[in-house]
Amino acid sequence: MIVRAFLAVLLIWTIPVQADERVVTGISKDNIALNASFNGSSLFVFGAVSRDAPIPIDAPKLDVVITIKGPEGPAVVRRKERWFGIWVNRVSVTVRDAPSYYAIASTRNLSDIITQTEMLRYKIGMDQAVRKVESHQKLYDTQPFAEAVVRIRMDNRLYSQRDWEVYLAEETLFQSEFEMPSNIVEGEYTAEFFLIRDKEVVSTGSTEIIVQKTGIERWLYNLAQNQPLIYGCLSVFIALVAGWVAATAFSLAKR
């Protein structure tokens, strides 16, 4: 243990002078209650770069990348194929650890500010989000299924990559806004911050955010999941009352 700790300290010391920049992060709240009633809500993320020495004049431009990742969970991905003239789900594949939400925002075009190696190392990028794909039917090419998860979730606004959407002022203060659609999963989200100079990550930081949904919709959802019998009886009861009240109101109005 002692040896390892020592090594770690050594490593920190050997990071080039540039790494004196650290990211100090902030999020509007780290326990967020989202109202799921309408089209979702947005999450405001901000932070600052703290540094011990002034930026050298010849230093390359600073860039910031922020990612937010939602709770991971398994999903079954199915593909329709033509079968006797109609389109039928024929092949299915399980994706083990796809994040339920994944958003990347950056100060400029992502591909211009960071190398492919660094993206792999820090697991940044859509292709990095969905990786563990398992085939039930001994399928050799599972890549299209992983791509389909990203494509469908981008359509549903659960995954997003937005370049030029982190605003960096004076190479010190940065901010961005993340859109959270109504159908996000509740749980622990991770926001990660990457400071980048010369296409390499010079500093990282992260915070956990607890996302909770509020409102009657969320209450109904949780009831349906946790107490399905009560929810079912309640649904029937509400329907009977609503149908009766509406019909009675109309027959009274007719008189």
If binding is defined by CB under 8 A, does position 88 make contact with other proteins? yes
Pick the binder of other proteins from 81, 140, 141, 169 (CB under 8 A).
81
Question: For residue 137, which phi and psi values (nearest 5 degrees)?
Answer: -105, 35
If binding is defined by CB under 8 A, does position 218 make contact with other proteins? yes
One character per residue 41-60, x = contact with other proteins (rule: CB under 8 A): --------------------
- CB neighbour list of residue 65: distance below 8 Å, 6 or more residues apart: 104, 105, 106, 107, 110, 113, 114, 124, 166, 193, 194, 196
Reading the block at residue 121, the tokens are: 């190392």
Reading the block at residue 108, the tokens are: 């400029």
Pick the binder of other proteins from 19, 75, 139, 154 (CB under 8 A).
75
Q: Sheet containing 62-69: which strands, arranged edge to edge?
A: 31-35, 200-214, 187-197, 62-69, 102-106, 159-162
If binding is defined by CB under 8 A, does position 69 make contact with other proteins? no
200-214 vs 31-35, strand pairing mode? parallel
If binding is defined by CB under 8 A, does position 244 make contact with other proteins? yes
Query: Which amino acid is residue 38, in one-letter code?
Result: F
Please, what is the minimum distance in Å from the beta carbon of residue 153 to other proteins? 8
If binding is defined by CB under 8 A, does position 87 make contact with other proteins? yes
Among 51-59, 108-116, 118-126, 242-250, which window interacts with other proteins (CB under 8 A)?
Answer: 242-250
Pick the binder of other proteins from 145, 159, 189, 194 (CB under 8 A).
145
Burial of 25 (0-12, 13-18, 19+ CB in 10 A): middle
Best CA proximity match to 102, nearest among 218, 214, 201, 190: 190
Q: Measured on CA atoms in the order 126, 117, 140, 72, is the torsion positive or negative?
A: negative
Please, what is the minimum distance in Å from the beta carbon of residue 31 to other proteins? 22
Reading the block at residue 249, the tokens are: 């109101």
Choose between 158 and 202: whose C-beta lies nearer to other proteins: 158
Choose between 13 and 38: whose C-beta lies nearer to other proteins: 38
Among 2-10, 13-21, 102-110, 148-156, which window interacts with other proteins (CB under 8 A)?
Answer: 148-156
If binding is defined by CB under 8 A, does position 84 make contact with other proteins? no
If binding is defined by CB under 8 A, does position 149 make contact with other proteins? yes
Per-residue CA distances from 47 to 64, 66, 198, 201, 207 (Å): 10, 10, 21, 16, 11
If binding is defined by CB under 8 A, does position 137 make contact with other proteins? no
Reading the block at residue 226, the tokens are: 């946790």
Reading the block at residue 20, the tokens are: 């004196």
One character per residue 175-194, x = contact with other proteins (rule: CB under 8 A): -------xx-----------
**Residues near other proteins (CB under 8 A):** 36-39, 73-82, 85-89, 92, 94, 144-145, 148-149, 151-153, 155, 182-183, 217-218, 220-221, 224-225, 228-229, 231-236, 238-240, 242-244, 246-248, 250
